[in-house]
Amino acid sequence: MKIIVTGGAGFIGSHLVDSLVEERYTVIVIDNLSTGIKSNINTKAEFYKLDIQDKRIQSIFQKEKPDIVYHLAAAINVRKSIKDPLQDIDTNISGSINLLEASKLVQPKKFIFVSTGGALYGDAAVIPTPEDYEIKPLSPYGINKFSIEKYLYYYWKMFGLNFTVLRLANVYGPRQNAKGEAGVIAIFCNQIFKNIQPVINGNGLQTRDFIYVDDVITALKLVLNKGDQGAFNIGTGKETNIKTIFEKISHLTNSSFSAVFNTKVIEEQRRSCLNVDKATRELGWTPKVSLEDGLLSTVNWFEENIN
């Protein structure tokens, strides 16, 4: 089976590529390296350095004729999407539609889209939040991700393009980029090992659902053969506030830093936590890695790879 992975030089994408290569799939990576790192790409994967908005994508799809398309390439910085919504539209909507147009021509068996759960439901009244909760994103990033979910339905109904959507919680783990579009765990690890005072946005009591990258990769591979035309939350169903994350990382790193808060920063949402019962029921998926084990693995990786 031949598989295209967009964003395959990035954090989640490179872990997915490694796992697919290990299972002897033929893997093609498309990444513009704007945030991805070339050294992350498995040497057994073919690599095209290309932006997903580039019209040459169609010729690559026609040449490679993929059986599966995993679409992970995205602008993922929520605050940047608020500051520059037009740029977020260019990457997350226009780029995605370019990929769908290319897929329409070659008709892969499935188009698997990595959406967001953390930014999709806004400040939900139901925690953990299920997939059928009203969509109320509080950022252009969340709006644009949901737009592509709707485009996927359109391309399925009109052109027969099979799809599955995974709505991810806050993913963390080794290789997460600690710059620009990083998650808070990567940022804290990077700063502590560089002896830079971490700063917690807001009062630190805002919660997120933190899921380790290996559990996400398991879900991504399960939907190769399951979950057609479905959207599934992928998280832990557990809330953890940012102050607690800082304290856990400080303990694991023996850090002497105390918590410092920047209360001037506007927070996107107060609480985020995903109900994953549907993924358990229909995909046979459950998260396996505890927050403690995941943080330890992540801290160890950053300690060994800090530069």
CA distances from 66 to 3, 4, 94, 107 (A): 5, 6, 21, 8
Q: What are 200's strand-pairing partners?
A: 261
Q: Kindly list the domain boundaries of the chain, sorted by start residue.
A: 2-170+211-234, 173-208+238-273+289-305
| Residue written as token pair 């995993």 | 70
Distance CA 223, CA 230 (A): 10
| Structure confidence at residue 120 (pLDDT) | 92
* Length of the chain (residues): 307
Residue (of 105, 113, 6, 3) closest to 58 by Cα position: 105
For the chain, the farthest-separated pair of C-alpha atoms sits apart, in whole angstroms, at: 58
Peptide bond into 128 cis (omega under 30): yes
Fold matches, 2-170+211-234 and 173-208+238-273+289-305:
no
Task: Give the whole-angstrom CA distance, residue 23 versus residue 110.
Answer: 18
pLDDT tens readout for residues 95-153: 999 999 999 999 999 999 999 998 899 889 999 999 999 998 888 888 999 999 999 99
**Sign of the Cα pseudo-torsion (9, 14, 20, 21, in order):** positive
Give the span between the Cα atoms of 197 and 201, in whole angstroms: 13
Q: Which CATH superfamily is domain 2-170+211-234 in?
A: NAD(P)-binding Rossmann-like Domain (3.40.50.720)
Query: What CATH number was assigned to the domain covering residues 173-208+238-273+289-305?
Result: 3.90.25.10
pLDDT at position 223 is 98
Active site residue 133: no
Catalytic residue among 141, 155, 172, 212: 141
Q: How does strand 110-116 pair with strand 68-71?
A: parallel
Query: β-strand 200-201 against 210-212: which pairing, if any?
Result: unpaired
Q: Which amino acid is at 63?
A: K
The pairing of strands 240-241 and 163-168 is unpaired
Question: Do 208 and 170 contact (CB within 8 A), yes or no?
Answer: yes
Cα(172)–Cα(70) distance, rounded to whole angstroms? 19
253-268 pLDDT, tens digit each:
999 999 999 987 765 6
How many other CB atoms are found less than 10 A from the CB of residue 226?
16
Q: How high is the pLDDT of residue 19? A: 98
C-alpha span between 236 and 216 (Å, rounded): 10
Low-confidence ranges of the chain (pLDDT < 70): 76, 180-182, 266-268
Please tell me the pTM assigned to this model.
Answer: 0.95
Quote the pLDDT of residue 181: 58
